[in-house]
Structure 1
């Protein structure tokens, strides 16, 4: 009989199921990562999201990474297992990789990322004007939870970047989403919605008794906003939306630059 050994509920705030999943995959002993929203689950797709080789990246994405490299030093926020930091390192770009997850930082380090740091993006421990570019993808900006919260995050990004800085962020546009989008929560405001779920990571226990370990993370709340709403969130910050890059669905990436920076030729 398989017995689940689940961490107690009070440990959820410090649990790291996503980081554990990355580290386990890196070490060749992957378990199963799930998104969970009530009774609904979705596969975490660790290899696809965090270990995809650059040859699989689309041309538009490579072009955006190259634009950030041109503004080095670059800050990779929420670096995960380090795939983008490694790509920059191979091209001698000055990059600093950070992640709030200790498991992700360990995985990135084992893959060869130079000195990745465990750090909260809401409280960046860097001097002013340290960087010329910021990458913050994986819809992490939505963890601001509100337009005001996103504005606060952008202000923090502005504090650690110079006057000519460039940033790339991403999100899902609610105006292009259906109600069956995983974790979807509606909002009466146009161009605004929410997404809530938590991560669960499960793998066979190392003691070999047939039991399994399961780690459950805290509930995550993401604000989903259209590009127009993102532009609203930049008001009062030094950033403005320079361009928006969409896929065929609701997902988009936005390029931001400082209002006091020179227009690109």
Structure 2
């Protein structure tokens, strides 16, 4: 049967899971690793079910918080329960509906670039959240915008992965490539729906640090994961 195009695959799937209608998971297809499965339960995991890298990230929370690409709100809900003032945002209408149903007080469907005259002490971009900028050529300007949303002494907490091991294992010659090896195109499929292709960025720490410097930010590594992933903190240079 022909799949129909859907602008909100993630939102539809998360609403189904929340309402107990979950019968299948999201199928992802990427330009670097082919087909994979994204279990919906993973998007609703508790703090105890999170990997140590995520738990560590949440331990750095302070002040007024922005959660970029909040999804089903697992980070926002945990931080709100800890007493923090959290603003959860996502471009997915369904995701924000789920967040509100789960009790998150401030949840808005919006693009990060639509935020202009508001400041935060902590900005979270977790689950490779910095990747929403899509291309390495857009990373510096993306970081400049995030910096504009920081209060004095504010911080950006993000994680990503270095995909070099994947392309090297496939005899991919990095120096001859016409694009950065962490640029990946994704498609998502759920039930009879097919999402629009979208770009995502995985960035190695040295490259993130370089672009942070161009954006006027200091970048330090907080923790290394077990599989080429890492957690970083970015702060405005004084």
TM-score by length of 2: 0.87
| Number of the residue aligned with 1:207 | none
**CA RMSD, Structure 1 to Structure 2 (Å):** 2.5
* Contact 2:53-2:231 within 8 A present in 1 as well: no
1:173 and 1:191 in contact (8 A); partners too: no
Question: Which residue of the partner structure matches residue 103 of structure 2?
Answer: 112
Equivalent residues of 2:54, 2:126 under 8 A apart: no
Q: How far 1:59 moved relative to its partner?
A: 4.6
Looking at secondary structure, tell me which structure has more helix per residue.
2
| Long gaps (5+) in structure 1 | 203-213, 261-265
Distance apart, 1:99 and its partner CA: 0.4
1:7 Cα deviation (Å)?
1.9
Is the partner of 1:255 in helix, strand or coil? strand
Give the match for residue 16 of structure 2: 24
Q: Taking structure 1 as reference, are residues 191 and 219 closer, same or farther at Cα in structure 2, changes over 3 Å only?
A: closer
- 2:131 aligned with 1:149, yes or no? no
**Residue 224 and residue 44 in structure 1: after superposition, are their counterparts in 2 closer, same or farther (change >3 A)?**
same
> C-alpha offsets along residues 47-78 of structure 1, whole Å, 9 cap, x if unaligned?
12x1111122345533321212x2x1000000
Q: In the alignment, is residue 43 of structure 1 matched against residue 37 of structure 2? A: yes
Q: Is 1:124 equivalent to 2:124 in the alignment?
A: no
- CA–CA separation in structure 2 for the residues paired with 1:24 and 1:58: 25
| Structure with larger Rg | 1
Q: Which residue of 2 aligns with 1:201?
A: 190
Does residue 161 (structure 1) correspond to residue 158 (structure 2)? The answer is no
Asked whether 1:91 is paired with 2:82, we answer yes
Q: What's the secondary structure of 2:82's corresponding residue?
A: coil
Q: Counterpart of 2:233? A: 255
Alignment partner of 1:113: what SS? coil
Secondary structure class of the residue paired with 1:92: coil
Asked whether the equivalents of residues 227 and 244 of structure 1 are also in contact (C-alpha less than 8 Å), the reply is: no
Instruction: Please give the alpha-carbon distance, in whole angstroms, between the structure 1 residues aligned to 2:120 and 2:77.
Output: 18
Query: How many residue pairs end up in the alignment?
Result: 233
